[in-house]
Structure 1
Amino acid sequence: MSNPKDSNLLWLSSLRFLMRHPWHFALSILGVALGVAVVVSIDLSNSSAKKAFSLSTEAVTGKATHQIQGAAESLDEETYRQVRLDAKVRKSAPVVEGYARLQGVNRTFQVLGVDPIAEAPFRDFASQEAGIELSEFMSGENTGLVSEMVAEELSVEIGDTLSLSVGGREFSLRLIGLIEATDDRSEQALESLLVVDISTAQRLFDMQGALTRIDLILPSDSEESLKKTINSVLPDGAAIVRSESRTETVEQMTRAFEFNLQALSMLALLVGMFLIYNTMTFSVVQRRPLIGRLRALGVTRNEILATVLKEAVLIGFLGTVIGIVAGIFLAQVLVKLVTQSINDLYFVLSVQELSIDLFSLGKGAVLGMGATLIAAFWPAREASQAEVSTVLRRSSNESKITERIVPLSLLGFLVALAGICVLLIPGGGIAAGYSSLLFMIVGFSLVIPLVIVGMAKVLRPVLGKISGLIGKMAVRGVVTELSRTSVAIAALVVAVAATVGVGVMVDSFRTTVVSWLESQLQADIYVQPPSSVARKADATLEPMLVDLLRETEGVADASTVRSVDVRTNKGTDNLVAINQGQAAKQAYQLKAGSENFWQRYTSESILMVSEVYAYRNNVALGDTLTIETDAGNAPFVIQAINFDYASDIGTITMSRQVYDQFFDDDAISGLALYAAEGVEVEQLVEQLREQSAGMQEVFIRSNKGLREASIEIFDRTFTVTIVLRMLAILVAFIGVLSALMALQLERSRELAVLRANGMTPGQLWNYVVTQTGVMGVMAGLLSVPLGILMAYILVYVINLRSFGWTLQFMISTEVLLQAVGLAILAALLAGLYPSWKMSKANPADALRND
């Protein structure tokens, strides 16, 4: 049959079949749509965050090609005079940069302090061309500029005052002008930017006489000669870096975070593939007699194959389109969660609107259509390859799956073995870890039919005693319809196993962090100003406040911490200077360390690095790090590696005594206080809060309070993971519902015969619900070993390769029981509608239609 008209008839026949089963058709589309929506939403959230950071960086960097940076986040402003006058580099501009929180509104602004006279070649925020009165901008105390869009959002006008909080200090800023955006791109770049005069910025950030950096424009043809000239006047610790280095550093920090979110989002699509496979198999099985007659009338195998694949294309296309649209709406929610995680872990980021990235939409379309066609190919091939004599018999399909149980199981073991081999590949990264996980899931799924048969033999006599004949029939029905029930159970197993795997991983992580916090937090009370990033102590305490708190009655001892970003031969790293003395020995858990480290660390140029830092930078005990200090480049030897779960990019730790030898910086980022014997800690906390009132906004928390706040941040960072896990379960639920509805349609004659032989509607309801419950029990029990296997790979492979953390593997009984309960509940809920439908069906109609 090669006539185009005949092909059209085949296609119309397919459409008629789909229209006769609207619920099944709709559920199939929904399964694809959900999988695509999750992938697209995560991709859009990540790309929106990237774009927001890129635009904000572009706004503050302007046309600068290079920057001069100091050793510890600051640079003496005398350096600018030397560069501009002594080195005669006219295209140079001083910059003071930081973050300020707008009081009364949950919004953080990036503050850019500039010199309007030197700004013209770099940025036009404060130029006369922009309509700004330079004399007022430069001479007016505490004045600033925001974009027209920001002013409209905040309902402020020129002359109004903005109340800001910077590191716990309160400031008032008068608005003297509005920056006009030239296009949508610049409008987005300016949405979280506050421009002030450099002297105002120095007051805001307590940086009198200091700069954050000096921007440069170095022409490519004279770049090297200009660098030599500039370097000749730079003080020790100052260095010239490319403007792009900031973006590159951020990309390195967030790469593993983004990849893991994308990989988890693919899980929903994988579960959706099970649904598509089940849908197309049902479609083929329902029309086996028709396909047999068509084959007998001369329709070729290729035409049957093409017809079934066309159905898959239609389902995939509709599901993908709906999924992309739904993904855009879902991304509106997820982008806030992703942004919150980035703010907690890495850097300040404000994403005011979702950016629609065509690449992300295209990726979702390719994955949606690709997954649909891959899942549909095997049922389509089965339909085209079957012999006419067998395709006319319904039982042939079940006999095939029965014959293939053992070969499928052997194949499953081989696929799982391949997954183990992937793990053993030297130098395998995160992608190899997830590839191994995929092999394990597929391998386990192939073994499921054999396990179902075995479980049915155990459950049949048990349910026979509980529910009698109906219980035995329900279990037997799962096996006799194995070609469909095994796929539905497998989809539910994978989705629930994902909840087990992620749940065990989160529990393991949480238990490890709680244990680490109990060891790390040795003091009774902790004092810290609010920081722009939760995990970073980038704000400092007022010296007068530090002295006041130290001398408070009831305080027996105190220790300090200073956190700064420094440049090393490995890049830009976080350096923590501590003066805890012998208390550090109890606080820090060492993974590896040289002898007498704690006796030497206060007097020698030695370091302790976190295990994450050691993993990311491939360093070990005895290696040397070169740090750019105020005294010049200085070598430090790594003599200890500690467990640290506060940062996934790693930290370097040295004693405050050694830090003071190399850095001209007496600032304090945090204060730890020890209560005198017999003093009630909570009462002392209240006393300290009263004494600090009106000086500087600070967090004064007890040991317990800080521990709870830390765990709250930890839980917040896993919110996205929990959402993705629930979406995967939703896809699986739809898969089970779809499979059960398919079974109801397939078995209408069988059930009609049972009704005709005296089975009551109530007994029929009991029969179907029992069968769905059995499927749920099987899925729940099977999800436990697969979930534990997934958790093992997540904890010991993917986590280790992503971040370098060593975690305690904790299997919670609660998580396992929840998984089994979730599987049973999902199956029972999915069986309610088919049960009701079957019990209400007229037996005569079913027998007549067969």
Structure 2
Amino acid sequence: MTLWRHFTWPAWRDHPGRVLLAILAVTLGVALAFGVHLLNGAALAEFARAARGVNGQPDLVLRARSGPLTDADLVELLERPAVAAANPVLEAVALWPGQAGPDGRALSIRLVGLDPLALLASAAGARPLAPELVPQVEGGTAEALAARTVHLNGAARARLPAGATTLRLRLPQPGSGAPRDVELQVGGRIAAGSTPLGVLDIADAQLLFGRLGSLDRIDIQLAPGIDAAAFTASLPPRWRAEPPADEGARLSDLTRAYRVNLGLLALMALFTGSFLVYAVLSLATAQRLPQWALVGVLGVSARMRWRLILIEGLVIGSLGTVLGLALGVGLAAGALKLLGSDLGLHAAGGSSADLLFAQPLLMPAVVYAGLGLAAALVASLAPALTVRRIAPALVLKGLGLPAGRTLPAWAGLGLLALGAALAWVPPLWGDTPVAAYLAMLCLLAGGLALVPALVRGMTALLERLPAGPLLLLARERSRDQATEARRSLAGVLVALALAVAMTVMIGSFRESLTRWLDQALPADLYVRAALRGADGLPAPLQPAVLDALGRLPEIARSAPQRTARLRLRPEAEPVALTARQLDTGGLPLVERWTGAAAADTLAVWVNEAARDRDGLVPGRVFTAELVDGDRRLRLQVRGVWRDYSRQSSALWMDLADYRRASGDTGTSELALWLAPGRSLDAARAAVRRVAGDDVEMAAAGELRTLSLQIFDRSFAITVWLQAVALAVGLFGVIASQSAQALARRREFGLLRHLGLSRRELLRLLGLEAGLQAGAGALAGLALGLGLSLVLVYVVNPQSFHWTMDLHLPLARLAALVGLAFAAAVGASLLAGRRALGPDAVRAVREDA
């Protein structure tokens, strides 16, 4: 502590800016990583909480293996002694005319029919079925069971006009029946749901939904001591009972890849921040090198000097970590407040702060604190080893820093080969490309190890030029100090490589998305029903509307499309099936089956997620079940198509094949092409006159613009992290070059005594910096392109099941490389101007 008080603290006090920047680098890295973790955890926690409120917490959920359940099933189930309580459930999605959602379209409200008496009975027990769905009414049970009465949650009540006691909704009808408007009395309140939700008595719901005697599911609470597995085994074959789906876990699985990639991008700032800590401590070490040598002569051991540098790194890391954890909580809270609608965080029962602190915080805080401390300590190792290896007597004579150690070139080549090999390893834990990220780390380490060899190679090229005094000095200095080039350029090389990689990946993704949109949206205008079924799929358009749209003079032709659900395996979750006229636009295929068509099969095309997750490779024959039509289809995969609209499995089928096989002649969506000379606005107005408010419309250009806006917004944080990392890396170059220049003051003084002018010395520094910066820029560009190949061809397909075509944005890449080169050369010249002052000459005189 004595050395710290009398030696380190005065140096920090005289140069607070450098120390604050190092602390800021750790703070920013920890804050971004911790904040992203908290934000993801809060979103998952709120989604799970909302799902539990709506779906309840039963022991088992009973469904029919095909078709709906009936009231008779409920009666039979209640006769079983093992059943303590059973709640029948029927759901629908209604249109709320006059109300607009966040996207400007007509607002939908989810309606749930259930048995309030069953909920009230279970609420008296230790494990209530769905306590947040129990209507809170003043009139007791009679009001809860009142006919044509809907009990609303807070999100729905917030949209009611002041003093309104009735609610008019538009309900879809089974099959292709015309939707009808119903007027309901507004009853009590319910606590569940963060989006508009209403609860009705089950008998009333069956009547209003046009599904008399039908049930979607029955939530079961078993009697104490009953084993769920044994009870399930005793059920008739026509029933299917399973534990309630863990919606939080399901969302966690679906978003794992996105969350992991976003978390690693946030850690990029911490990774590059460690180079800034290294640069600051290196600069401080170079400036205090004579003092370090003096205390060494006075008896301070090399071990003590090494320990003191590590303590400096630990103090920087500790301060940055504490501030980073606090800032991370603030960033997450601000994001929840500003972006809550995007995350679905509008629960009436709690605030955004509640969501943050409702999740485990201690262990994540310890983990990210450990990462921050580790980054600072690792960054301080090199300066600490430098101080430990100095020969105090030689340093006092002005001979500068000791020669650095470096990995041999073969080790760098080995790391590059290892990185290339790891890129071929399949993902772990589902869709997490752990090996791919290790491959990127090996490529970075290998590139850093090869920088000295690259500098020596570029220096060797200068031997062919006429050797003047300055060129000779620059060549020899660059050859002898190639290791120092690796140290000084480490930060900008890593930051430049990551920036190049992310720029290429984002550019490739955006270009591929643009081309995909051109293929996926061949028509001018798209129309679909505003009403939704209970499964969330669009309701069929009315035949009268379809007929009227086909006769409009503004429309040249149309192409119908049907969206349905398909179950690939028994008990599996349904996947999306789109039936469309496949000759209306080119399919964005990435694989095609060229073999013979199997007998008695229908052709289907699957997306990449279905190929990777469900094994639906081209040529495979399989049997699947239509969920809504209760029919089994024998299908053959004829190709794999690129699908940027989802990460889950999805299939395409020709519309004619689907209608013959299913008997379903409905149309969910309609693609329209304008007649020659007709404007889009005129076509919109004509469609609205025919269909009214029961349809939603979107032009192909609007869908393209919206998709690209969502893409740019999704990658905005990535671009910002690139800028932070690059800025940190550039400052690291400035600090490192300053350290080298200050350590060479006596060398510069000696050269001045030998006759070189100040301008000639600056030219010498420019030549040296040009060699080193050129090597760093080339290495960063090459490494970045290598990393981009891993991101484009490995990380994205493994994480999201999206392939893309490589696209090089040459202008942006040239700007990045030019910026890194200019910053490195400029930093060296600025540091040299300071080191070439009068102190350099006086340093030589004092040494003499």
Fold similarity call, TM over 0.5: yes
User: C-alpha distance in 2, partners of 1:161/1:759?
Assistant: 93
Aligned to 1:302: 303
The 1:190/1:573 distance shift into structure 2, 3 A limit, reads closer
Aligned to 1:183: none
8 Å Cα contact 1:528/1:700 also seen in 2: no
481 and 156 in structure 1: CA distance in 2 versus 1, 3 angstrom threshold: farther
Using a 3 Å threshold, how does the CA distance of structure 1 residues 566 and 142 change in structure 2: closer, same or farther?
farther
Distance (whole Å) between structure 2 residues aligned to residue 283 and residue 462 of structure 1: 37
User: Does residue 106 of the first structure (1) align with residue 110 of the second (2)?
Assistant: no
Secondary structure of the corresponding residue to residue 572 of structure 1? coil
Larger deviation: 62-71 or 640-649?
Answer: 62-71
Say yes or no: does 1:376 pair with 2:386.
Answer: no
1:446 CA drift (Å): 1.8
- How far the C-alpha of 1:437 sits from its partner, in A, is 0.5
Structure 1 residue identity aligned to 2:91 = V
Letter in 1 for 2:445: V
Query: CA shift at 1:31, angstroms?
Result: 1.7
Aligned equivalent of 1:799, options 777, 796, 799: 796
Match of 1:699 among 681, 697, 700: 697
Alpha carbons of 1:836 and 1:379: their partners in 2 closer, same or farther (altered >3 Å)?
Answer: closer
320-329 or 563-572, larger mean C-alpha shift: 563-572
Deviation of residue 369 (structure 1)?
0.8
Aligned to 1:433: 436
Q: 1:202 Cα shift?
A: 7.7
Deviation at 1:143, TM superposition (A): 3.5
- The corresponding residue for 1:736 is 733
Paired residue secondary structure (2:401): helix
Residue identity in the other structure for 1:45: L
Which residue does the alignment assign to 2:86? Answer: 91
SS in 2 for 1:244: coil
Question: Which of these residues, 32, 37, 42, is aligned with residue 43 of structure 1?
Answer: 37
Equivalent-residue separation in structure 2 for 1:608 and 1:835 (angstroms):
64
Cα deviation, 1:214-240, whole Å, max 9, x if unaligned, reads: 322245624345435654564xxxx33
- Per-residue CA shift, 1:66-91, capped at 9, x if unaligned? 2234679x846657645656768542
In the alignment, is the contact (CA less than 8 A) between 1:45 and 1:335 conserved in 2? Answer: yes
Give the structure 1 partner of residue 53 of structure 2: 59
Where 1:673 maps in the other structure, the secondary structure is strand
Matched ranges for 1:813-824 at <5 A: 813-824=810-821
CA–CA distance in structure 2, aligned partners of residues 463 and 684 of structure 1: 75
Change (3 A) 1:502 1:315: same
The equivalent residue for 1:318 is: 319
Alpha-carbon distance between aligned partners in 1 of 2:844 and 2:208, rounded to the nearest angstrom? 83
Determine helix, strand or coil for the equivalent of 1:299.
coil
**CA distance 1:24–1:643, shift in 2 (3 Å):** same
Q: Which aligned pairs between 1:447-846 and structure 2 lie closer than 5 A? A: 447-455=450-458, 486-529=486-529, 538-543=537-542, 544-553=544-553, 554-564=555-565, 566=567, 568-569=569-570, 571-580=572-581, 582-583=583-584, 586-587=586-587, 589=589, 591-593=591-593, 595=595, 604-605=601-602, 607-620=604-617, 621-627=619-625, 629=627, 634=632, 636-645=634-643, 646-656=645-655, 659=658, 668-675=667-674, 678=676, 680=678, 682=680, 685-692=683-690, 694-702=692-700, 704-743=701-740, 746=743, 779-824=776-821, 827=824
CA distance in 2, matches of 1:145, 1:315: 54
1:146 aligned partner? 153
Q: Is the 8 A contact 2:135 2:151 kept in 1?
A: no
- Using the size of structure 2 for normalisation, the TM-score is 0.80
Amino acid at match of 1:807: M
Question: RMSD value over aligned CA atoms?
Answer: 4.9
1:218-237 correspondence runs (5 A)? 218-219=222-223, 221-224=226-229, 226-228=231-233, 230-232=235-237, 234=239
Q: Does 1:417 align with 2:425?
A: no
Q: Measured at CA, do residues 457 and 797 of structure 1 come closer, stay the same or move farther in structure 2, by a change above 3 Å?
A: same
Aligned CA distance change for structure 1 residues 785 and 56 (closer, same or farther; 3 Å): same
What is the letter of the counterpart of residue 153 of structure 2? Answer: V
Q: Do 1:126 and 1:132's aligned partners in 2 also have CA atoms closer than 8 Å?
A: no
Could you say which residue in structure 1 is the equivalent of 2:131?
124
Structure 2 SS opposite 1:144:
strand
Deviation for aligned residue 1:441: 0.6
Q: Distance in 1 between matches of 2:378 and 2:492?
A: 19
TM-score (norm 1): 0.80
Partner amino acid, structure 2, of 1:249: R
Deviation, structure 1 residue 17: 2.8
* Distance in 2 (alpha carbons) for counterparts of 1:370 and 1:491: 17
Q: Taking structure 1 as reference, are residues 65 and 662 closer, same or farther at Cα in structure 2, changes over 3 Å only?
A: farther
Structure 2: gaps (5+ residues) = 123-128, 173-178, 345-349
- Checking the alignment, whether the CA contact within 8 Å between 1:626 and 1:635 is kept in structure 2 is yes
**Structure 2 CA distance for partners of 1:339 and 1:146, relative to 1, 3 Å:** closer
1:3 counterpart residue number: none
Q: Shift in Å at residue 672 of structure 1?
A: 1.9
Q: Is the 8 A contact 1:623 1:637 kept in 2?
A: yes
Cα deviations by residue, 1:146-199 (Å, 9 ceiling, x for unpaired): 24xx6998798775788999999999987644456xxxxxxxx75446343267
Alpha-carbon distance, 1:767 to partner:
9.1
Between the aligned partners of 2:162 and 2:6, the Cα distance in structure 1 is 64
Identify, as 1 or 2, the structure richer in helix.
1
Q: 1:572-603: per-residue Cα shift (whole Å, max 9, x none)?
A: 2422131416447x435361326565x98xx8
Does structure 2 retain, via aligned residues, the 8 Å contact 1:341–1:717? Answer: no
Q: 1:698-733: CA deviations, max 9, x gaps? A: 02324x444444333333433333233233223324
Identity %: 23
1:362 aligned to which of 357, 360, 366:
366
C-alpha contact (below 8 Å) 1:103/1:165 kept by paired residues: no
2:769–2:825 CA contact under 8 A, matched in 1 = yes
Structure 1 residues 517 and 631, CA gap change in structure 2 (3 angstroms): closer
Note if contact 1:736-1:830 (Cα within 8 Å) is conserved in structure 2.
yes
Query: How far 1:538 moved relative to its partner?
Result: 3.0
Aligned residues of 1:44 and 1:328 also touching (Cα < 8 A): yes
How many Å apart are 1:413 and its aligned residue? 1.7
AA partner of residue 682 (structure 1):
L
Q: Distance in 2 between matches of 1:641 and 1:565?
A: 18
SS of 2:801's partner is coil
Corresponding position of 1:270: 271
The answer (yes or no) to whether the contact 2:455–2:771 under 8 Å persists in 1 is no
Question: Secondary structure of the equivalent of 2:152?
Answer: strand
Check 1:483–1:696 CA distance in 2 against 1; reply closer, same or farther (3 A cut). same
Do the aligned partners of residues 285 and 270 (structure 1) sit closer, same or farther apart at CA in structure 2, a change above 3 Å counting? Answer: same
1:593, 1:639 within 8 Å by CA — same for their partners in 2?
yes
CA displacement at 1:362 relative to structure 2? 2.4
The answer as to 2:251 corresponding to 1:250 is: yes
Cα displacement (A) at 1:412: 1.8
Q: Larger deviation: 758-767 or 523-532?
A: 758-767
Counterpart amino acid of residue 372 in structure 1: A
Unmatched runs of 5 consecutive residues or more in structure 1:
1-6, 181-188, 344-349
Deviation string for 1:14-34 (max 9, x for gaps)? 333333321221121122222
Structure-2 change in CA distance of 1:384 and 1:825 (3 Å):
closer
Alignment CA distance shift 1:833-1:604 (3 Å): same
Query: Which position in structure 1 is the counterpart of 2:175?
Result: none
Per-residue displacement from partner, 1:424-465 (whole Å, max 9, x unpaired)?
Answer: 446776100100110001110122233245446769999999
Judging changes above 3 Å, is the alpha-carbon distance between structure 1 residues 529 and 722 closer, same or farther for their aligned structure 2 residues?
Answer: farther
CA contact (8 A) 2:88 2:219 kept: yes
User: 1:314 offset after TM fit, Å?
Assistant: 0.2
Residue matched to 1:21 = 15
